[in-house]
Amino acid sequence: MKRLFLFVAVVAVVSLVAFSGAFAADAKKDAKAEPKTQTVTGEIVDLGCYLDHGAHGEKHAECALHCVQGGMPMGLLADGNKVYVLTLSHENGDPYAKCKEWVAKQVKVTGKVMTGGGMQALEVDAVELAPAAAAK
Ligand SMILES: [Cu+2]
């Protein structure tokens, strides 16, 4: 009888450990991924026109500038048509302001990549014209 009790106790402890392990794994899966600083190359687009009718590039530059000056959110159109919403850095707003001038141009943006709510965003900590565009 004592043995049986010991066996039950061991089974209980083992399953408890297994359970908490599973919970820990679940919690990890639900936790937001730690934002990672990345440098992404792409074209700055005005999100309204890009998402509505795929407008971007040189021929849409004038409209894009107008849209962004009016307050349209900006995105970075990277390789593989991956689009990041550009967000303002709290520490330094200058690079974001620069993006407003460089809309429709190829740039390199460095900052935190954030995901959530079905979106992905890139904080503009630094921006420079990409070599291809700078050479033009
Ligand atoms: Cu536009």
Q: Tokens 């990345």 label which residue?
A: 38
For residue 79, report the distance from its CA to the centre of ligand 1, in Å. 20
Residue-wise pLDDT tens digits, 60-85: 999 999 999 999 999 999 998 999 99
For residue 57, report the distance from its CA to the centre of ligand 1, in Å. 11
Ligand 1 being an ion, which residues bring their Cβ within 5 A of it?
46, 49, 63-64, 67
| Separation between Cα atoms, residue 133 and residue 114, nearest integer Å | 26
| Separation between Cα atoms, residue 104 and residue 43, nearest integer Å | 6
Amino acid 35: pLDDT:
82
Residue-wise pLDDT tens digits, 114-136: 999 999 999 999 999 998 655 55
Amino acid 32: pLDDT:
62
Residues found in the chain: 136
CA atoms within 13 A on the CB side of 44: 33
Q: Which amino acid does the sequence have at 114?
A: M
Q: Considering the entire predicted model, what is its pTM?
A: 0.73
Q: What angle do CA 113, 119, 123 make, to 5 degrees?
A: 30
